[in-house]
């Protein structure tokens, strides 16, 4: 296999991975944050979202994510927000048991005192990355 083919394949793999990222950029640096592994997590009788965030940029960033919980009919029944910082070129596992930089849970429980069993599905409604 030629080196050109290998380099081209690595470039395409990196390009494909970055195509699924959401982030922001600035003239003084760049940030690119990928959110993966989002799932529900019980917090006593309540429910929150946990997940994994990767910052592949060279800036520390603040990340705010909004979620909407839905019942089996697809009707919105509650909301939740995750807020945390990620250092440059690093990872952060967010969730209700993982503290953010302010010492608070990095992911809040859903409004309306929702338990995970009451949520049929959830969706991300907003992702805001700032530095």
Cα–Cα–Cα angle for 20, 25, 100, rounded to 5 degrees: 75
Confidence at residue 30, expressed as pLDDT on a 0 to 100 scale: 67
Confidence at residue 3, expressed as pLDDT on a 0 to 100 scale: 42
Does the pTM exceed 0.95? no
- Give the pLDDT confidence of 23-64 residue by residue, as tens digits: 443 334 567 899 999 999 999 999 999 999 999 989 999 999
Domains delineated in the chain: 3-130 (2.60.40.3230)
Rounded CA separation 1/101 (Å): 47
With a CB cutoff of 8 Å and minimum separation 6, the contacts of 86 are: 33, 53, 54, 55, 60, 61, 63, 92
């Amino acid at each position: 296999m030629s080196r050109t083919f290998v380099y081209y394949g690595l470039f395409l793999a990196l390009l494909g991975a970055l195509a699924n990222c959401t982030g922001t950029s600035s003239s003084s640096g760049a940030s690119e944050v990928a959110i993966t592994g989002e799932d529900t997590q019980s917090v006593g009788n309540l429910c929150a979202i946990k997940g994994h965030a990767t910052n592949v940029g060279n800036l520390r960033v603040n990340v705010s994510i909004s979620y909407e919980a839905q019942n089996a009919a697809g009707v919105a029944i509650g909301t939740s927000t995750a807020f945390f910082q990620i250092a440059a070129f690093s990872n952060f596992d967010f969730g209700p048991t993982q503290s953010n930089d302010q010492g608070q849970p990095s992911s809040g429980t859903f409004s309306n005192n929702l338990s995970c069993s009451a949520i049929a599905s959830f969706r991300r409604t907003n992702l805001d990355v700032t530095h």
